[in-house]
Structure 1
Amino acid sequence: MSNNREHLCARMGRFLEFINSGDETIGKEVVFESAEFHVPFGGPPLKGLGGYMQILGMMRGAYPDIQWSLQEAIVEGDKVVARFAISGTHQGNFLGTPATGKQISSQAFNIYRFANGKIVEERGLPDIFGMFAQIGAIAIPGPPPA
């Protein structure tokens, strides 16, 4: 394993500690002050640690016990492509859907760009469709009747 790969994988491990704990002290270690976070909901990217805390706040408001697990990481230069498993209990409003108490098990595919050991950009693609289906916000049609 190259030094760059080892370094970025270690930084991703620390980032995982941050998102699972919400500890801003750890966040300051891994998020660059002017980092940009592109979210799938549209609009301009969220900026810096405050922007990422908004993302975590939205997710933790809906799923207070949410946890991310890094399943796979591909390192290329200054970028890491990460596949996360996500689990939690829907206990608060999630994008307009009131709490259901249902468990979710989902995933996210995110692309991170690093500079000097910190995240400077993230393009996050959580499986919002799958999360909505699991909490009953949308119906998944079954096979047509025979």
Structure 2
Amino acid sequence: MPSTLETTNKELFARFHRAVNTGDPDVITAAIDELVDPDVELHTSLPVPEPGVRAFHYVWTLLLRAYPDIQVHIQDLIAEDDKVVARSVVTGTHRGEYLGQAPTGRTVTYNEIFIARIADGRIVETWGVVDVLAQLRQLGAITL
């Protein structure tokens, strides 16, 4: 049976994704400022030119510009101690430049897995694996 901490951490992570799914930049910015520690550490294979919470703002600005209707559908949400793991399916319509690709109008669907470490009611560290290959393939940027 999950502890109160694990239940609370899962709800925090789900709240962040509910904000993201509004597509409203102001709502997303407010959620980031409330739920993400200013000195958050991001571990990702994609280059993020900003440190800390500014990295979150950078990523979501980039994603909203590329996919203004982006939706993150959490498939599994698992918590243990101070960590939450989410396996999600992401959908969006490519309406803006993304990773050097001009808008195509195509809808993309891709998978991602994120682990978040939470302390004092804020996300303090994340590790993410995003299927960028699936995105680029669906955008016609690469063929395999």
**Shared fold (TM-score greater than 0.5)?**
yes
Does 2:93 correspond to 1:89?
yes
Residue 65 of structure 1 aligns to a residue in which SS? coil
1:60 maps to what in 2?
Answer: 64
Does 2:74 correspond to 1:70?
yes
1:45 deviates by: 6.8
Where does the alignment leave 5 or more consecutive residues of structure 1 unmatched? 141-146
- Pair 1:9–1:28, CA change in 2 (3 A): same
d(CA) in 1 for partners of 2:50, 2:124: 12
2:43 maps to what in 1?
Answer: 38
- Pair 1:52–1:124, CA change in 2 (3 A): same
- Select which of 119, 122, 141 maps to 1:137: 141
Amino acid at match of 2:33: K
Residue 140 of structure 2 aligns to a residue in which SS? coil
Between the two proteins, the alignment pairs up a number of residues equal to: 139
Matched-pair contact (CA < 8 Å) for 2:67–2:93: yes
Does 2:112 correspond to 1:108?
yes
1:15 deviates by: 1.1
Cα deviation code 1:89-113 (max 9, x no counterpart): 0111110111111101111111111
Report which of the two structures shows the higher radius of gyration computed on alpha carbons: 1
1:56 deviates by: 0.5
Residue 138 of structure 1 aligns to a residue in which SS? coil
State the identity as a percent: 32
What is the CA RMSD across the aligned residues, in angstroms? 1.6
Q: TM-score, normalised by structure 1?
A: 0.87
2:131 maps to what in 1?
Answer: 127
- Equivalent runs, 1:13-32 vs 2, <5 Å: 13-21=14-22, 22=25, 23=27, 24-32=29-37
- Pair 1:69–1:117, CA change in 2 (3 A): same
Q: TM-score, normalised by structure 2?
A: 0.88
d(CA) in 2 for partners of 1:56, 1:18: 11
Where does the alignment leave 5 or more consecutive residues of structure 2 unmatched? none
Matched-pair contact (CA < 8 Å) for 1:17–1:26: no
